[in-house]
Amino acid sequence: MPIPIISHVLSEGLSAVPHVYTVFKWTAVAAIVALLKYYFGGARNTSERLMHSKVVMITGGTSGIGASIVHDLASRGAQIILLTQHAPSDLFLVDYIEDVRQSTNNELIYAEQVDLTSLHSIRKFATKWVDNAPPRRLDMIILCANTLKPSRSGKPRLTFDGLDEEWQVNYLANFHLLSILSPALRAQPPDRDVRIIFATCSSYIGATMDFQRTEGVVSSAATTGIKNKSKPGAKNASLSRKNKRNSSAASMYGMTKLSLMIFAKAFQKHLSSYKRPDQQPMNARVLIVDPGYSRTPGTRRWLTGGSLWGLLVYLILWPVWWLILKSPHAGAQSFLYAAMEARFGRSAGEHIGGGWLIKECREVECLRKEVDDVDVAKELWEFSEQQIQIKEKESAKRRALEKAQKEKEEEDKKRKQKDEEKAKAQTNKKEKVDNSNNNKNNSKSRPNKNRK
Protein backbone atom coordinates (compact mmCIF):
# COMPACT_ATOMS: atom_id res chain seq x y z
CA MET A 1 0.00 0.00 0.00
CA PRO A 2 2.63 2.67 0.87
CA ILE A 3 4.70 1.96 -2.28
CA PRO A 4 1.90 2.77 -4.78
CA ILE A 5 1.07 5.95 -2.80
CA ILE A 6 4.71 7.07 -2.79
CA SER A 7 5.08 6.38 -6.48
CA HIS A 8 1.85 8.25 -7.16
CA VAL A 9 3.09 11.25 -5.15
CA LEU A 10 6.43 11.24 -6.99
CA SER A 11 4.76 11.12 -10.36
CA GLU A 12 1.71 13.33 -9.81
CA GLY A 13 2.77 15.53 -6.85
CA LEU A 14 1.31 16.02 -3.34
CA SER A 15 -1.76 17.75 -4.73
CA ALA A 16 -2.86 14.49 -6.27
CA VAL A 17 -3.30 12.85 -2.84
CA PRO A 18 -6.68 13.68 -1.27
CA HIS A 19 -6.59 15.64 2.05
CA VAL A 20 -2.80 15.39 2.27
CA TYR A 21 -2.38 18.94 3.56
CA THR A 22 -5.08 18.38 6.23
CA VAL A 23 -3.24 15.25 7.38
CA PHE A 24 0.08 17.15 7.57
CA LYS A 25 -1.56 19.99 9.50
CA TRP A 26 -3.14 17.80 12.18
CA THR A 27 -0.03 15.67 12.41
CA ALA A 28 1.99 18.80 13.15
CA VAL A 29 -0.58 19.90 15.75
CA ALA A 30 -0.48 16.50 17.45
CA ALA A 31 3.33 16.56 17.46
CA ILE A 32 3.40 20.03 19.04
CA VAL A 33 0.89 19.01 21.73
CA ALA A 34 2.91 15.86 22.47
CA LEU A 35 6.12 17.87 22.78
CA LEU A 36 4.47 20.43 25.08
CA LYS A 37 2.98 17.67 27.21
CA TYR A 38 6.38 16.02 27.51
CA TYR A 39 8.00 19.33 28.43
CA PHE A 40 5.44 20.32 31.07
CA GLY A 41 5.43 16.77 32.42
CA GLY A 42 8.83 17.39 33.96
CA ALA A 43 11.72 15.03 34.61
CA ARG A 44 11.36 11.33 35.34
CA ASN A 45 12.96 9.51 38.21
CA THR A 46 15.64 7.09 36.96
CA SER A 47 17.03 6.10 40.36
CA GLU A 48 16.39 2.65 41.76
CA ARG A 49 16.51 1.48 45.34
CA LEU A 50 15.44 -1.65 47.18
CA MET A 51 12.53 -0.72 49.45
CA HIS A 52 11.75 -4.12 50.97
CA SER A 53 11.64 -3.99 54.80
CA LYS A 54 11.85 -0.15 54.70
CA VAL A 55 9.39 1.63 57.02
CA VAL A 56 8.05 4.83 55.48
CA MET A 57 5.87 7.29 57.42
CA ILE A 58 3.96 9.74 55.25
CA THR A 59 1.47 12.56 55.72
CA GLY A 60 -0.98 13.49 52.97
CA GLY A 61 -0.73 10.03 51.46
CA THR A 62 -4.40 9.53 50.61
CA SER A 63 -4.73 11.94 47.67
CA GLY A 64 -2.78 13.82 45.02
CA ILE A 65 0.99 13.47 44.88
CA GLY A 66 1.10 11.70 48.24
CA ALA A 67 -1.12 8.90 46.96
CA SER A 68 1.17 8.41 43.94
CA ILE A 69 4.21 8.23 46.24
CA VAL A 70 2.48 5.66 48.44
CA HIS A 71 1.54 3.51 45.45
CA ASP A 72 5.05 3.57 43.97
CA LEU A 73 6.89 2.87 47.25
CA ALA A 74 4.40 0.17 48.23
CA SER A 75 4.83 -1.53 44.86
CA ARG A 76 8.55 -1.71 45.64
CA GLY A 77 7.88 -3.53 48.91
CA ALA A 78 8.06 -0.71 51.46
CA GLN A 79 5.99 -0.77 54.64
CA ILE A 80 3.78 2.34 54.60
CA ILE A 81 2.37 4.08 57.67
CA LEU A 82 -0.25 6.64 56.67
CA LEU A 83 -0.74 9.53 59.08
CA THR A 84 -4.29 10.70 58.43
CA GLN A 85 -6.99 12.62 60.24
CA HIS A 86 -9.45 9.79 59.57
CA ALA A 87 -9.96 7.06 62.14
CA PRO A 88 -8.62 3.62 61.10
CA SER A 89 -12.20 2.36 61.03
CA ASP A 90 -13.32 5.06 58.59
CA LEU A 91 -14.92 3.43 55.53
CA PHE A 92 -13.04 5.64 53.05
CA LEU A 93 -9.69 4.85 54.66
CA VAL A 94 -10.44 1.13 54.90
CA ASP A 95 -11.36 0.97 51.20
CA TYR A 96 -8.33 3.06 50.21
CA ILE A 97 -5.88 0.86 52.10
CA GLU A 98 -7.47 -2.28 50.68
CA ASP A 99 -7.19 -0.89 47.14
CA VAL A 100 -3.51 -0.02 47.63
CA ARG A 101 -2.79 -3.47 49.06
CA GLN A 102 -4.44 -5.20 46.13
CA SER A 103 -2.94 -2.98 43.40
CA THR A 104 0.61 -3.19 44.82
CA ASN A 105 0.43 -6.76 46.13
CA ASN A 106 1.71 -5.44 49.45
CA GLU A 107 -0.14 -6.07 52.71
CA LEU A 108 2.14 -3.83 54.79
CA ILE A 109 -0.02 -0.73 54.49
CA TYR A 110 -1.29 0.73 57.76
CA ALA A 111 -2.86 3.93 59.06
CA GLU A 112 -2.49 5.96 62.24
CA GLN A 113 -4.90 8.71 63.20
CA VAL A 114 -3.02 12.01 63.49
CA ASP A 115 -4.96 15.24 63.09
CA LEU A 116 -2.48 17.90 61.95
CA THR A 117 -4.91 20.64 63.03
CA SER A 118 -4.51 19.50 66.64
CA LEU A 119 -1.18 19.81 68.47
CA HIS A 120 -2.49 17.43 71.12
CA SER A 121 -3.22 14.74 68.51
CA ILE A 122 0.31 15.06 67.12
CA ARG A 123 1.92 14.82 70.56
CA LYS A 124 -0.25 11.85 71.49
CA PHE A 125 0.85 9.86 68.45
CA ALA A 126 4.51 10.90 68.40
CA THR A 127 4.97 10.30 72.13
CA LYS A 128 3.49 6.84 71.82
CA TRP A 129 5.88 6.12 68.93
CA VAL A 130 8.95 7.36 70.80
CA ASP A 131 8.07 5.59 74.05
CA ASN A 132 8.21 2.21 72.36
CA ALA A 133 11.13 0.04 73.59
CA PRO A 134 13.17 -1.00 71.73
CA PRO A 135 12.91 1.92 69.27
CA ARG A 136 10.70 1.12 66.30
CA ARG A 137 12.25 1.02 62.87
CA LEU A 138 11.82 4.21 60.85
CA ASP A 139 13.66 4.61 57.54
CA MET A 140 11.86 7.55 56.00
CA ILE A 141 9.44 10.37 56.79
CA ILE A 142 7.72 12.10 53.87
CA LEU A 143 5.76 15.25 54.72
CA CYS A 144 3.24 15.84 51.93
CA ALA A 145 0.24 17.12 53.88
CA ASN A 146 -0.80 20.51 52.63
CA THR A 147 -3.70 22.94 52.72
CA LEU A 148 -4.42 26.16 50.85
CA LYS A 149 -7.13 28.82 50.98
CA PRO A 150 -9.23 28.92 47.80
CA SER A 151 -8.48 32.62 47.31
CA ARG A 152 -6.15 35.24 48.79
CA SER A 153 -9.09 37.45 49.75
CA GLY A 154 -10.81 34.67 51.69
CA LYS A 155 -10.92 34.72 55.47
CA PRO A 156 -8.37 32.44 57.15
CA ARG A 157 -9.74 29.32 58.78
CA LEU A 158 -8.73 28.62 62.36
CA THR A 159 -7.83 25.31 63.96
CA PHE A 160 -8.92 24.05 67.38
CA ASP A 161 -5.73 25.58 68.78
CA GLY A 162 -6.69 29.03 67.48
CA LEU A 163 -4.02 29.15 64.77
CA ASP A 164 -4.27 29.85 61.06
CA GLU A 165 -4.97 26.51 59.40
CA GLU A 166 -2.36 26.97 56.67
CA TRP A 167 0.32 27.85 59.21
CA GLN A 168 -0.45 24.91 61.48
CA VAL A 169 -0.91 22.19 58.84
CA ASN A 170 1.83 23.26 56.42
CA TYR A 171 4.51 24.17 58.94
CA LEU A 172 3.87 23.99 62.70
CA ALA A 173 2.49 20.43 62.62
CA ASN A 174 5.65 19.24 60.84
CA PHE A 175 7.84 21.09 63.34
CA HIS A 176 5.94 19.55 66.26
CA LEU A 177 5.97 16.04 64.82
CA LEU A 178 9.69 15.98 64.00
CA SER A 179 10.66 17.64 67.27
CA ILE A 180 9.12 14.75 69.18
CA LEU A 181 10.26 12.04 66.74
CA SER A 182 13.84 13.31 66.76
CA PRO A 183 15.02 10.74 69.38
CA ALA A 184 13.52 7.94 67.29
CA LEU A 185 15.44 9.14 64.22
CA ARG A 186 18.72 9.45 66.11
CA ALA A 187 18.26 5.99 67.66
CA GLN A 188 18.23 4.20 64.28
CA PRO A 189 21.22 1.85 63.74
CA PRO A 190 24.12 3.39 61.78
CA ASP A 191 23.73 0.97 58.85
CA ARG A 192 20.28 2.34 57.95
CA ASP A 193 19.69 5.05 55.38
CA VAL A 194 17.27 7.44 57.10
CA ARG A 195 15.73 10.30 55.10
CA ILE A 196 13.31 13.09 56.00
CA ILE A 197 11.67 14.65 52.94
CA PHE A 198 9.84 18.00 53.06
CA ALA A 199 7.47 19.30 50.40
CA THR A 200 7.81 22.93 49.34
CA CYS A 201 6.59 25.19 46.54
CA SER A 202 8.02 28.03 44.47
CA SER A 203 5.70 30.42 46.34
CA TYR A 204 8.41 30.62 49.03
CA ILE A 205 10.41 32.94 46.74
CA GLY A 206 8.10 35.92 47.21
CA ALA A 207 6.99 35.15 50.75
CA THR A 208 7.19 37.53 53.69
CA MET A 209 7.41 36.62 57.36
CA ASP A 210 4.97 38.05 59.89
CA PHE A 211 4.49 36.05 63.08
CA GLN A 212 1.31 37.87 64.07
CA ARG A 213 -0.50 36.51 61.02
CA THR A 214 -0.12 32.94 62.30
CA GLU A 215 -2.77 33.35 65.01
CA GLY A 216 -6.46 34.00 64.75
CA VAL A 217 -6.31 36.10 67.91
CA VAL A 218 -2.84 37.54 68.32
CA SER A 219 -1.25 36.34 71.54
CA SER A 220 1.13 38.92 72.94
CA ALA A 221 3.11 36.24 74.76
CA ALA A 222 3.69 34.36 71.54
CA THR A 223 4.52 37.28 69.30
CA THR A 224 6.52 39.49 71.60
CA GLY A 225 8.50 36.83 73.39
CA ILE A 226 10.98 36.41 70.55
CA LYS A 227 11.32 40.11 69.92
CA ASN A 228 12.39 40.54 73.53
CA LYS A 229 15.02 37.87 73.07
CA SER A 230 16.34 39.36 69.85
CA LYS A 231 19.46 41.45 70.06
CA PRO A 232 18.77 45.02 68.92
CA GLY A 233 20.89 45.87 65.94
CA ALA A 234 21.90 42.25 65.29
CA LYS A 235 21.95 41.18 61.68
CA ASN A 236 18.88 39.19 60.64
CA ALA A 237 17.56 39.40 64.19
CA SER A 238 13.89 39.40 63.31
CA LEU A 239 12.10 37.73 60.43
CA SER A 240 9.25 40.17 60.75
CA ARG A 241 11.51 43.20 60.47
CA LYS A 242 13.95 41.82 57.94
CA ASN A 243 11.60 41.76 54.98
CA LYS A 244 10.18 45.22 54.36
CA ARG A 245 7.60 44.19 51.79
CA ASN A 246 3.92 44.71 52.41
CA SER A 247 2.99 41.68 54.48
CA SER A 248 -0.74 42.21 53.98
CA ALA A 249 -0.40 41.37 50.29
CA ALA A 250 1.79 38.33 50.90
CA SER A 251 0.48 34.81 50.86
CA MET A 252 0.30 32.85 54.09
CA TYR A 253 0.92 29.75 51.99
CA GLY A 254 4.27 31.09 50.77
CA MET A 255 5.19 32.05 54.32
CA THR A 256 4.55 28.51 55.54
CA LYS A 257 6.73 27.05 52.80
CA LEU A 258 9.58 29.45 53.51
CA SER A 259 9.34 28.63 57.22
CA LEU A 260 9.33 24.92 56.45
CA MET A 261 12.49 25.24 54.37
CA ILE A 262 14.24 27.22 57.09
CA PHE A 263 13.26 24.57 59.62
CA ALA A 264 14.39 21.74 57.32
CA LYS A 265 17.91 23.18 57.13
CA ALA A 266 17.96 23.75 60.89
CA PHE A 267 16.67 20.24 61.58
CA GLN A 268 19.52 18.74 59.55
CA LYS A 269 22.00 20.66 61.70
CA HIS A 270 20.12 19.52 64.78
CA LEU A 271 20.48 15.88 63.74
CA SER A 272 24.11 16.23 62.64
CA SER A 273 25.14 17.81 65.94
CA TYR A 274 24.08 14.69 67.84
CA LYS A 275 26.98 12.49 68.93
CA ARG A 276 25.97 8.86 68.69
CA PRO A 277 26.99 6.51 71.52
CA ASP A 278 28.58 4.19 68.95
CA GLN A 279 30.69 7.09 67.59
CA GLN A 280 29.25 6.54 64.11
CA PRO A 281 28.33 9.47 61.85
CA MET A 282 24.73 10.60 61.72
CA ASN A 283 22.88 8.58 59.09
CA ALA A 284 19.79 10.81 58.76
CA ARG A 285 19.52 13.17 55.80
CA VAL A 286 17.02 15.98 55.23
CA LEU A 287 15.81 16.78 51.71
CA ILE A 288 13.44 19.46 50.40
CA VAL A 289 11.41 18.72 47.27
CA ASP A 290 9.58 21.11 44.96
CA PRO A 291 7.27 18.92 42.83
CA GLY A 292 6.17 21.75 40.53
CA TYR A 293 2.60 22.61 39.57
CA SER A 294 0.40 19.52 39.45
CA ARG A 295 -3.27 18.67 39.04
CA THR A 296 -3.82 17.90 42.71
CA PRO A 297 -7.03 18.53 44.70
CA GLY A 298 -5.34 21.49 46.40
CA THR A 299 -4.36 23.09 43.09
CA ARG A 300 -7.86 22.55 41.71
CA ARG A 301 -9.37 24.13 44.81
CA TRP A 302 -7.08 27.14 44.48
CA LEU A 303 -7.76 27.59 40.76
CA THR A 304 -11.53 27.39 41.24
CA GLY A 305 -11.48 29.78 44.19
CA GLY A 306 -13.72 27.37 46.06
CA SER A 307 -16.80 28.42 44.05
CA LEU A 308 -19.11 26.70 41.58
CA TRP A 309 -18.43 29.35 38.92
CA GLY A 310 -14.72 28.76 39.34
CA LEU A 311 -15.30 25.04 38.98
CA LEU A 312 -17.23 25.65 35.74
CA VAL A 313 -14.35 27.73 34.35
CA TYR A 314 -11.91 25.05 35.45
CA LEU A 315 -13.88 22.38 33.58
CA ILE A 316 -14.10 24.53 30.45
CA LEU A 317 -10.35 25.10 30.52
CA TRP A 318 -9.56 21.48 31.39
CA PRO A 319 -7.53 20.89 28.17
CA VAL A 320 -5.25 23.78 29.18
CA TRP A 321 -4.74 22.43 32.70
CA TRP A 322 -4.17 18.94 31.31
CA LEU A 323 -1.45 20.32 29.07
CA ILE A 324 0.48 22.66 31.38
CA LEU A 325 -0.01 20.98 34.78
CA LYS A 326 1.66 17.76 35.80
CA SER A 327 -0.30 14.70 36.75
CA PRO A 328 0.06 13.55 40.38
CA HIS A 329 2.28 10.72 39.15
CA ALA A 330 4.59 13.18 37.36
CA GLY A 331 4.64 15.43 40.43
CA ALA A 332 5.75 12.50 42.57
CA GLN A 333 8.89 11.85 40.50
CA SER A 334 11.08 14.33 42.40
CA PHE A 335 9.96 12.80 45.70
CA LEU A 336 10.85 9.33 44.44
CA TYR A 337 14.20 10.66 43.25
CA ALA A 338 14.89 12.11 46.71
CA ALA A 339 13.85 8.84 48.32
CA MET A 340 15.97 6.60 46.07
CA GLU A 341 19.01 8.50 44.80
CA ALA A 342 22.11 6.90 46.32
CA ARG A 343 24.18 10.08 46.65
CA PHE A 344 21.69 11.53 49.15
CA GLY A 345 21.92 8.56 51.48
CA ARG A 346 24.17 7.33 54.25
CA SER A 347 26.87 6.29 51.79
CA ALA A 348 27.28 9.94 50.71
CA GLY A 349 29.73 10.45 53.55
CA GLU A 350 29.85 12.44 56.75
CA HIS A 351 31.18 15.57 55.07
CA ILE A 352 27.92 16.10 53.18
CA GLY A 353 25.52 17.94 55.45
CA GLY A 354 22.16 17.33 53.78
CA GLY A 355 19.38 19.86 53.31
CA TRP A 356 19.34 19.55 49.51
CA LEU A 357 16.62 21.26 47.46
CA ILE A 358 15.37 18.93 44.72
CA LYS A 359 13.38 20.08 41.70
CA GLU A 360 12.83 18.22 38.45
CA CYS A 361 14.92 15.31 39.77
CA ARG A 362 18.05 17.39 40.25
CA GLU A 363 19.60 19.52 42.94
CA VAL A 364 18.98 23.26 42.61
CA GLU A 365 19.99 26.36 44.56
CA CYS A 366 17.62 27.99 47.01
CA LEU A 367 16.57 31.49 45.96
CA ARG A 368 16.10 32.89 49.47
CA LYS A 369 19.17 33.50 51.59
CA GLU A 370 17.09 33.32 54.79
CA VAL A 371 16.92 29.55 54.38
CA ASP A 372 20.62 29.22 55.27
CA ASP A 373 20.68 32.03 57.84
CA VAL A 374 21.51 30.68 61.31
CA ASP A 375 20.01 33.65 63.19
CA VAL A 376 16.74 33.44 61.27
CA ALA A 377 16.53 29.68 61.88
CA LYS A 378 17.17 30.15 65.60
CA GLU A 379 14.50 32.82 65.89
CA LEU A 380 11.94 30.75 64.00
CA TRP A 381 12.76 27.66 66.08
CA GLU A 382 12.32 29.56 69.35
CA PHE A 383 9.09 31.13 68.17
CA SER A 384 7.69 27.76 67.12
CA GLU A 385 8.57 26.12 70.43
CA GLN A 386 7.05 28.98 72.40
CA GLN A 387 3.91 29.06 70.29
CA ILE A 388 3.41 25.31 70.68
CA GLN A 389 3.93 25.56 74.43
CA ILE A 390 1.37 28.34 74.79
CA LYS A 391 -1.19 26.71 72.54
CA GLU A 392 -0.87 23.30 74.16
CA LYS A 393 -1.46 24.84 77.58
CA GLU A 394 -4.54 26.63 76.26
CA SER A 395 -5.72 23.42 74.61
CA ALA A 396 -5.19 21.44 77.83
CA LYS A 397 -7.28 23.96 79.78
CA ARG A 398 -10.07 23.77 77.20
CA ARG A 399 -10.05 19.97 77.29
CA ALA A 400 -10.15 20.03 81.10
CA LEU A 401 -13.10 22.44 81.07
CA GLU A 402 -14.89 20.37 78.43
CA LYS A 403 -14.27 17.22 80.44
CA ALA A 404 -15.58 18.85 83.62
CA GLN A 405 -18.60 20.17 81.74
CA LYS A 406 -19.26 16.75 80.26
CA GLU A 407 -18.96 15.09 83.67
CA LYS A 408 -21.32 17.65 85.14
CA GLU A 409 -23.84 17.06 82.36
CA GLU A 410 -23.60 13.31 82.91
CA GLU A 411 -24.12 13.75 86.66
CA ASP A 412 -27.12 16.00 86.05
CA LYS A 413 -28.49 13.46 83.62
CA LYS A 414 -28.05 10.63 86.12
CA ARG A 415 -29.59 12.74 88.90
CA LYS A 416 -32.54 13.63 86.70
CA GLN A 417 -32.94 9.98 85.73
CA LYS A 418 -32.90 8.95 89.40
CA ASP A 419 -35.48 11.62 90.25
CA GLU A 420 -37.70 10.41 87.42
CA GLU A 421 -37.35 6.81 88.57
CA LYS A 422 -38.11 7.85 92.16
CA ALA A 423 -41.15 9.84 91.06
CA LYS A 424 -42.29 6.94 88.92
CA ALA A 425 -41.85 4.55 91.82
CA GLN A 426 -43.90 6.79 94.10
CA THR A 427 -46.60 7.05 91.45
CA ASN A 428 -46.71 3.28 91.07
CA LYS A 429 -46.86 2.87 94.85
CA LYS A 430 -49.71 5.34 95.10
CA GLU A 431 -51.58 3.57 92.30
CA LYS A 432 -51.16 0.25 94.09
CA VAL A 433 -52.56 1.75 97.33
CA ASP A 434 -55.51 3.20 95.46
CA ASN A 435 -56.18 -0.10 93.72
CA SER A 436 -56.06 -2.00 97.00
CA ASN A 437 -58.49 0.45 98.58
CA ASN A 438 -60.87 0.10 95.64
CA ASN A 439 -60.72 -3.68 95.91
CA LYS A 440 -61.60 -3.51 99.63
CA ASN A 441 -64.55 -1.25 98.97
CA ASN A 442 -65.83 -3.55 96.25
CA SER A 443 -65.53 -6.58 98.46
CA LYS A 444 -67.58 -4.88 101.23
CA SER A 445 -70.34 -3.83 98.88
CA ARG A 446 -70.92 -7.27 97.32
CA PRO A 447 -72.38 -9.03 100.45
CA ASN A 448 -74.95 -6.26 100.90
CA LYS A 449 -76.28 -6.97 97.40
CA ASN A 450 -76.63 -10.67 98.18
CA ARG A 451 -78.68 -9.95 101.33
CA LYS A 452 -81.18 -7.93 99.38
CB atoms within 10 A of CB 158: 15
One-letter amino acid of 148: L
Distance CA 448, CA 452 (A): 7
Tell me how far apart the alpha carbons of residues 392 and 398 are, in angstroms, rounded to a whole number.
10
CA distance 402 to 407: 8
Q: Which of 54, 257, 359, 391 is catalytic?
A: 257
Residue 356 dihedral angles phi and psi, to the nearest 5°: -75, 145
d(CA 223, CA 238): 11
Beta strands, E only, 9-108: 55-59, 79-84
d(CA 432, CA 366): 88
3-state secondary structure of 287: strand
Strand partners, 56: 80, 140
How far apart are the two ends of the chain, measured CA to CA in Å? 129
Amino acid symbol at 191:
D
DSSP assignment of 147-183 equals: ---SSTTSPPPB-TTSBBHHHIIIIIHHHHHHHHHHH
DSSP state of 69: H
Contacts of 52 (CB under 8 A, 6+ apart): 76, 77, 78
Q: Identify the bridge partners of residue 433 per DSSP, sorted by sequence position.
A: none
* Residue 391: active-site member: no
Query: What single-letter amino acid sits at 51?
Result: M
CA dist., res. 330 & res. 340, Å (int) = 16
Active-site residue list? 257
